[in-house]
Amino acid sequence: MAEESHMLPDRTLPAVAEQIQDRRDFLRKAAQMLGVAVASGTAITVLSACETDIVKSQGGEQVFNITTVPVLTLIGGAALQVFDNFNGGREVIIIRTSTTAFAVYTAVCTHQQCLVNNRLQNGNIYCACHASAFSVTDGRPLSGPATASLRKYETRFDSATNQLTIIF
């Protein structure tokens, strides 16, 4: 029985070499184009970071007993907290807005990423770095150099158990 050969016949080698070269040219050109695209994307990301918050939510819920932070038992009380990797591993500001409601925002200022204060100032969230103020109602900038809102996280509060659920 004749042994089957896995070698290509000699006459096809130049054609295969040509195909490989074409493929390499294609890949090189694609990589060059992709490099431009990646560079453009990076520039867009950097520009966007100047205008919006840089912390990205990764989804999930965090349950938090507010009695562990006494200031949150008072209406108008505010505190900074970190919850593992939620909010990009950065602080959030939790504000008690009524006996049954809380507002939670990223504490990373949208101007140049300083942390906002852990206390309200004139009823607003305040960043001492360059004096930006943000609304407690929706996180929009009210004054100062910041032009983008603080990212807001939805919450549920169970007043029977004092459990605040933050939806990241």
Summarize as ranges the residues that interact with ligand FES (CB under 6 A): 109, 111-112, 114, 127, 129-130, 132, 144-146
**Token pair 């930006």 in the structure block, residue:** 132
Q: The tokens 């360059």 sit on which residue?
A: 130
* Min dist. Cβ of residue 49 to ligand FES (A): 12
- Minimum CB–partner distance for residue 90 and ligand FES (Å): 13
CA-to-CA dists, residue 5 to 9, 12, 29, 115, 128, angstroms: 9, 14, 36, 70, 77
- Type of residue at 99: T
How far apart (Å, rounded) are the C-alpha atoms in residues 46 and 19? 40
Dihedrals phi, psi of 75, to nearest 5 degrees: -65, 130
Task: Specify the residue, 24 or 130, whose C-beta has the smaller distance to ligand FES.
Answer: 130
Rg (CA), the chain: 27
Residue whose CB is less far from ligand FES, 152 or 167: 152
- Identify which of residues 109 and 164 has a Cβ nearer to ligand FES in the complex: 109
Q: How far is the CB of 46 from ligand FES (least distance, A)?
A: 17
SS percent in the chain: helix, strand, coil, step 5? 30, 25, 40
| Closer CB to ligand FES, 88 or 144, in the complex | 144
Least distance from C-beta 31 to ligand FES, angstroms? 38
In sign, the C-alpha dihedral spanning 153, 154, 159, 161 is negative
Tell me whether residue 53 or residue 94 sits nearer to ligand FES (CB atom).
53
CB of 77 to ligand FES, least distance (A): 22
